[in-house]
Each structure stands twice: as structure tokens, then as C-alpha cells.
Amino acid sequence: MSRHSQKSKQRHPDAPREHFEVAHITFEIAPDAKTFALIAGQAYSAKDRRPLFSAHIEKGMSEQLRELAFRIRQLEEGINE
């Protein structure tokens, strides 16, 4: 069972979970299980706050995320405030 489901959160409320907000998406990480979930961060109702996707953390993901962050930074530079 996913560490990120509502049932899991009710059964194991003290399990370690870390949250990182990126715009309107929340990254939830369960470090002990080495899993992550993507959650709609600005969902209007509780039923829509369930994970959109969850998976195991795999080798190489940090580099892929750095590449994504680099590209987003390039795009941010072109935004006028």
C-alpha cells in the first residue's frame, strides 16, 4: 500500500512525510519508504487532494530534477514582474 494514501495516513499518522510546495503542486516524500507523491496543492475539496501519482524514488531522479530546475530558471529570467 502507498504511504501516501488517505488510509495509510489515518493508520500511520506519525510516519515521516516531508512536503515541498512547487507552484500549485505538492511533492510529498516518505523518506523511510523512499517514495514520493504529487498532490494538487490548491484543490478545492478534500477528495481532490489525494495523490495524483506516487512512485518509488529511483537512482538518477535528482539529476533529472536539477535539469528541470535549470530549464525553469531560464524561463523565469524572461518573465517581467
pLDDT value at position 45?
66
Per residue of the chain (81 residues), give pLDDT as tens. Answer: 578 887 888 888 888 999 998 888 889 999 998 999 998 877 666 666 788 889 999 999 999 999 999 999 999 998 876
Task: Evaluate if pTM is beyond 0.95.
Answer: no
- At 9 the three-state DSSP class reads helix
Region of 60 please: left (phi>0), alpha (psi -120 to 50) or beta: left
Return the domain boundaries, the chain: 6-77
pLDDT value at position 72?
92
Burial class (CB in 10 A: 0-12, 13-18, 19+), 3: buried
For residue 79, which amino acid is it?
I
Question: What DSSP state is assigned to residue 36?
Answer: E
pLDDT value at position 63?
97
